[in-house]
Every structure is written in structure tokens, then in C-alpha cells.
Chain A
Amino acid sequence: MIENVSIYELLTLTTILFFIGLYGFLTRKNLLTMLLSIELLLNASVINFVVINKYLYPDVLQGVYFSIFIIAVAAAETALAISIIINLYRLKTSVDVAETETMKY
């Protein structure tokens, strides 16, 4: 709980963060920045869980636990994605979406 800050302001923040991430994912053409956008999306949900836990249901720490798991899984996800991107770079010397795509429709 933060003084003088209500749940509405925090949830507005996470929603804005979420949609910045979504916009970034859909418009960026570089695989690494797309990955960064996904991190933004995941962090928005992490803050969301913590805020809901702290403001609405402070007795049980379910939301906080969930957020720790999300952070751990997100790290695994990023590691895997980056390893595949590195492999793609070796084959193609590019991490741009338009240049790496061979399969369509």
C-alpha cells in the first residue's frame, strides 16, 4: 500500500504499460525489440497481480507468489527466444522480421 495513491491510478499505469507493450510488439520489425515489448507486457501483469493482492486481498499472498513465478518463467522464455535469435543470426546475419521470413501464406 502506498499512501495517497489509490488502486485506480496503479491499474491505469499497468493498463497503459500493457498497451504500450502490445503496440510495440505489433509495430516493431526487429526481433529483439519485439522481445522487449513482451517483457513490458509481462511486467504489466506482474504489477497488476501485486497491486490487486496488496489493495484488495491483503490477507493471502497469492498474487505476490504468482508474480514471482511469472518473473522466473519470463526469464526462461527470454533465454530460449534469444538463443533461437542467435541461431537465426548465424544463418542469415540479420534479426529483422522482413529479411528473415521465408514462409508466407
Chain B
Amino acid sequence: MRNEIILLVLILALLIFEIFTKPNQKKHIINIAVGLFFIHTVIGFFPIGESSLFGGSFRTTGLIHFYKSVLNIGVLIILLQSADWLRNKVAHFNKIPEFFILLFSSLLGMNFMISSGDFLLFYLGLELSTLPLVALIAYDSFNQQSTEAGIKLILSAALASAISLFGIGMLYATGGSLYFEVIAQNLQSSNLAILGMVFFFSGLAFKISLAPFHFWTADVYEGAPIGIASYLSVISKGAAIFILMAILFSVLPILSEAWKLVVYILAITTMFTGNLFAIRQKNMKRYLAYSSIAQAGFMMMGIINAEELGVATVVYFVLVYVFSNLGAFGVVQAISSQTGKENMDDYTGLYRTNPKLALILLLSLFSLAGIPPLAGFFGKFFLYTAAASKGYYLLVFLAVVNVTISLYYYLLPVRVMFLRKSDDAIPYFKSKLMMRAGLVIAVLGIFVLGLYSPLYNYIVELSAGVL
């Protein structure tokens, strides 16, 4: 509970700060909020014992606590990368505190969702994480695209949560309770239970943007401010995949025949849709949106394992994905907040004018594609072992085919940046300190995770005995 309490205190402190400052002083909240959140992240690293509260509806284990730290680091990087944009591009300083308050509320919702021990807290966490996010996506209220993205997300998220609720109702009817532990004991495999599982699954699949449920993704990413788009792709997706995994593995193991089939089909469709649609994208945000859909398909390969190995590989992959994706989004953010350009063609000849940014984007894209010795390679490799150890060889084969496709489009921006010359390339600029810090953390993460193996062993250790 420590994580949540500190976060709540942070939100309240920012609210009070908002009330008692004059409009022209509100810029200072950026430094204060980032500093406070840095302290929160550092405190989050201290270990915490296993416990459960409120009759088992809120629980903490070592793995959940570790996962919350991962989300904290991700949000810290996003805050560092967004600071420059907030300072220069937001028209009304009055709106700056709102950004932090809403973002932290959404993170609070995700923390509750991850540690939920019954469907009630799960639902509340899900909604608390979605609603502030919608407000953040429609943050730029004079920009039509931003507003349109907001309405698209809220309508599809509300539909998804309504379908999910109907499924939870069916699981309640067959399981006899809303508590995960009781459901796991009572649930019998029946048609109603399977239908409930499918409805529930599709609600979460919306959040993770698996293939038939992915249609909102690209539009919302394009319309949203870049910091929020990266939050959606990393934090929101990571939290949803964790709770999906926890519920499938420990609450619905009796239906594993049914949900393995669902996961199998969704993994294949998601990988192919994400990768094939990414090829034709010109806008960098849409491009990264489809790339993130494809990465979600890879994560499904760990879930199909349905054992502790699957948990460990997915958690490790999400950790790697946080750093790689935030590196890529960070470069897009840096260029966009400096020049306003977001298309891939604008990056022509970037290596000659801004070599460091080009290099960071190269490393992040290579890590997303899975080229050794970067961390992304090991993440994908462990996922293959997780799927192959249960005999899903066809799935692994299709995943390798997809990696080949993905290499093509991950190399497109690299070719544009490094091999092409252009007279009107983006001129040299120097990023602000916070932006540089955000990029450096992301790149360090990519290298350290790839080269320092005890971290993976630590995750395996944590995930032993979670089921």
C-alpha cells in the first residue's frame, strides 16, 4: 500500500499547490512534480513484504512490487521527456498542473489494478487508469485531432469495459464470488464460464490493443500529445498485460484449454496486423503505434506458456520494452517539441545534423526489432523459449517470420536518417537537460538489461511461486 499512499499524497500536494499559486508561477510546478516523482520512484525500490488488505481485495507480492517499480521508472522517463514540451508548447500555464495530477491519478489506478484481489477493485482500477488518460489525450483542447482521439478512446474504452463487465457477471454467476481466490476454487469448466472468460478477455484485449480490438490505437496515438502516446503504449499496455496474465494463470486455470486457444489465435493475428500495417505508415506516431501492437502480439507468446516461466519472460520483456519504446518515443518527442515535425520524411539526413539523436533512435529501433546484443533480443529469445517449451513450434516459427518482416520497417527510419542526404534536414539543436536525462536513462536501460543477466535471474526468482 506504500506506493499508492505516497502517490495519493503527491496528487493532493500538487492540487494544493495548484490552488495557492498565481497563474504566471505555475511553470515551476514542472520541476517540483518531476522532483517529487523522482523521490517516489527511489522510495519504490525499497523492498516490501507480502501482505493483503481489505479481506484479500488488495494484495502485494514481491513480483507486484517489482512491477510497480518498473511502471514508476517508465513514468519518470516520460515526465522527463515531456517537460520541455510542457514548458514551451502548452498555451495556458493554468493547464500544466492538470497534466501531472491526471497522469499520477492514472498511474494510481494502474497500481490498484495490478494489486487487485477481486473483480471490484480490478474494475475500479481499470476505470481510474482510463478516465484521466482520456482527459489527457484531449488535453490540447484547441487541436481537433487531440479532441477526436479523446472521443475515440473514451467510446471504445467504455464499450470494452462494458463488455468486460458482462463477462465478469457470468464469471460471478459460475464462480459464486468476486474474490479471485474463491473463484479459483469454485469455478467449474462450463459453457457459461468460457463465455464469461471470452467477454472478460476482450475487454482487456482492447486495453492491450490485440489485433481485432486494435482499431483505436493508431488514431489515438496520432492525436494524443507524444508523452501521452508513449504512456499509452508502455505503461497502460504493461499494466493491462500483467493483470491479464495474473487473472488467467491464477483465477481461470481450469479454463486453460479455452483461453490458450484464444491467446494462440490473437497472438498470430496481432503480430501480422501490427507488422504489416506498420510498413505503410508515414507518421512516426502511427508507425510506433503499429509497432507497439506487434510487440503486444509477441507478449502473448509468454502468456501461452501458462507457468512461472511465462510470467518471468513476459515481465522481463515488458521491462525491456519500456526502455526501448521510450527511447524511440523520446527522440520523436525531442524533434517534435523543437521543430513540430513528426513525419518520417522529415528525418532525412538527421545523422549529419543531429548524430546523437539519430544514434539513440537507431539503438531503440534495433532493440525493438531484437538485434543482439541489445536487450530486445534477449526479451524475444526468452519468449520463444517460453512458447517452445510447451510445444507451440508453429507459433514460434510464425513469430520468427514476423521478426523478419519487422526488421524491414524498423530499418526504414534508419535508412532515411543515415543513408539519405537532404538540404533541408532538421538543423542542429541542443535538447534541454531533462530531455537528455530521459533519453540517457532509456539508452542505459537498453544496454544494461541486455548485458547484465542477474536481473533476469532476479525476475525468475520473484515469479517463482506466484501461481
Interface residues of A (CB under 8 A from B): 18, 21, 25, 31, 34-35, 38, 41-42, 44-45, 48-49, 52, 56-57, 60, 62-63, 65-66, 69-70, 73, 76-77, 80-81, 84-85, 87-88, 91-92, 100-105
Contacts and interface: CB of A to CB of B under 8 A. Distances in A.
Contacts of B155: 25, 31, 34-35, 38, 81
Nearest to B151: A84
22 contacts: A34-B155, A44-B166, A48-B166, A49-B169, A56-B176, A57-B177, A62-B120, A62-B178, A63-B178, A66-B123, A69-B120, A70-B123, A73-B123, A76-B131, A80-B135, A87-B138, A88-B151, A91-B147, A100-B148, A100-B151, A102-B148, A103-B149
B293 interface: no
B134 A45 contact: no
Contacts, number: 105
Contacts of A18: 166
A25 B159 contact: yes
Contact of A42 (B154, B165, B168, B176): B165
A45 B127 contact: no
A52 B145 contact: no
Interface residues of B, number: 37
Contacts of B159: 25, 38, 41
A88 B178 CA distance: 39
B351 interface: no
A24 to B, nearest CB: 11
Interface string B162-189: 1101101100110011100000000000
Nearest to B127: A73
Given A56-B173, A69-B123, A84 B154 contact: yes
Interface string B28-43: 0000000000000000
A34 B158 CA distance: 11
A66 B169 CA distance: 10
Contacts of A77: 127, 131, 154, 158
A45 B173 contact: no
B141 interface: yes
Contacts of B177: 57, 60, 62
Contacts of B123: 66, 69-70, 73
A87 B141 contact: yes
Nearest to A21: B162
A45 B148 contact: no
Contacts of B142: 91
A44 B199 CA distance: 14
B134 A103 contact: no
Given A25-B159, A81-B154, A85-B151, A66 B166 contact: no
B140 to A, nearest CB: 10
Given A45-B166, A48-B166, A103-B222, A38 B158 contact: yes
